[in-house]
Amino acid sequence: MSAHPTIRLKSREGRRAIAGAPWIFSNEIEMDARTRSLAPGTLVNVVRADGNDLGTGYFNPKSLIAVRLLDPVADAEIGDAFFASHLARALSRRAALFPEHFYRLVHAEGDGLPGLTIDRFNMTFVVQITTAGMEALIEPMFGALDDVASPECVILRNDAPSRALEGLDSYVRAARGEIPDRMTVHENGVRYFADAASGQKTGWYFDQRDNRAFIAALAKGQRVLDCHSYTGGFGLLAAHAGATHVTCLDSSAPALALASAAAEANGVGGKVKFTKADVFDELERLAATNATFDIVIADPPPFVKSRKDLEAGARAYRKLARLAASVTAANGYLLLASCSHNMPHDRFLAECAIGIARAGRRASILRDAGAGPDHPVHPMLPETAYLKALVFVLD
Ligand code: SAH
């Protein structure tokens, strides 16, 4: 007898999953009354229309992504041993990449653990769960994390808006230890501060690590404008790398306060200025005064939150590219980023190119990159390659 209830694919449906992708959509399965009545997060066996097994996953009748596969074997036991082996593998892959324990430890499907994100700040771990299936597995997951990494502190940032799509509530709590006032991040030789409880996402964006290093390599002797600076990721590294002057621009006062404290801690406080303003307004104001910067970074929040926002979001990226290009000096560098997974790479590049041209500038692309290797991409899930970061040099 099978331990998990069975979900059956409709005939000729689920091609992506059969080819190796981990998602099965609700329109691809036989949704009878028994299936519909399964509790969100139930572990299931998935079988193809021809009766062959597709493996073990978790199911949510409320979600468009009805099943996320966890194991290619049917009736797999998803418990401590499953999580211990996945977490140990994720840990050894990061250990091979980074000298210190500051990285994204688990990047959901990219690490075979759909619905789970874990960012590691030395012995403090910030966990985000975005699916009912992973929420139901929280105890074995924490048990394995204790065994594999011995955390001093584990913070659950279960306040992502996408949880509502899975019927999950929103909360933040310490699962181990106590939530610290602020965390320290070591990255690229700089010390930053992050707020685990109320900062954005998990408090820090590890994804831009390599893009920050690329900009820093160009920064010596340059004047830098870091738009959407958040807690100073790009700007403080550029200052540390020898920029003569850096402006960190953001609309968030708490983020700028952490950036300012970190500038002092790194001994670069004297050459970094902090401006709390709307980026669009401030770029227009700067352009009107003919101000220029040798390096401009624009790393905005996602402008395309769902597919229906694509056209409005595309216009916003184009406008940001135009305004940012208008304050970039001759022979200066411009980094434009998008973290919207609903914004395809080629469309983003086209919008950036048009925006720069509309500022009356010509440009070449020096770097076309994504997130760092602690954000592994599932090769059959383009959605996991959400970050686009283009570096242009302008004539
Ligand atoms: N570049 C940062 C991450 C940026 S996250 C890093 O390397 O860590 C996006 C930032 O944009 C957030 O800090 C948010 O406060 C800011 N933001 C969002 N909308 C804004 C706006 N209209 N004007 C200024 N800042 C904005």
- Residues 121, 156 contacting (CB under 8 angstroms): no
354 burial type by CB count under 10 A (0-12 exposed, 13-18 middle, 19+ buried) = middle
C-alpha pair distances (Å), 207 with each of 42, 105, 110, 313, 369: 32, 12, 13, 21, 11
Distance 335 CA to ligand 1 centre (A): 14
pLDDT of residue 195 exceeding 60, the answer is yes
Residue 167: pLDDT band (50, 70, 90) is very high
DSSP codes of every residue in 373-393: TTSPPPTT-GGG---EEEEEE
- 3-state SS of the chain: helix, strand, coil percent to 5? 35, 30, 35
pLDDT average, residue stretch 164-182: 95
13 burial type by CB count under 10 A (0-12 exposed, 13-18 middle, 19+ buried) = middle
Distance 272 CA to ligand 1 centre (A): 17
Q: Beta partners for 156?
A: 127, 173
* Identity of the residue numbered 227: C
| Nearest CA owner, ligand 1 atom 6 | 233
248 is catalytic: no
Residue 375 half-sphere exposure, CB side, CA atoms within 13 Å?
19
Please give the pLDDT value at position 383: 84
| DSSP assignment letter at 362 | -
Please give the pLDDT value at position 382: 86
pLDDT of residue 1 exceeding 70, the answer is no
- Per-residue pLDDT of 7-36, as tens digits, reads 999 999 999 999 999 999 999 999 999 999
Query: Whose structure tokens read 């920029």?
Result: 243
Please give the pLDDT value at position 2: 59
- Residues 86, 65 contacting (CB under 8 angstroms): no
Assess whether the C-beta atom of 279 lies below 6 angstroms from ligand 1.
yes
- Residues 224, 247 contacting (CB under 8 angstroms): yes
The whole model's pTM is what?
0.97
Task: Tally Cβ neighbours within 10 Å of residue 74.
Answer: 18
Residue 384: pLDDT band (50, 70, 90) is confident
Please give the pLDDT value at position 3: 87
Ligand 1 closest atom vs CA 255: 13
* Identity of the residue numbered 324: A
Q: Which tokens in the block code for residue 229?
A: 């600076």
Ligand 1 closest atom vs CA 230: 13
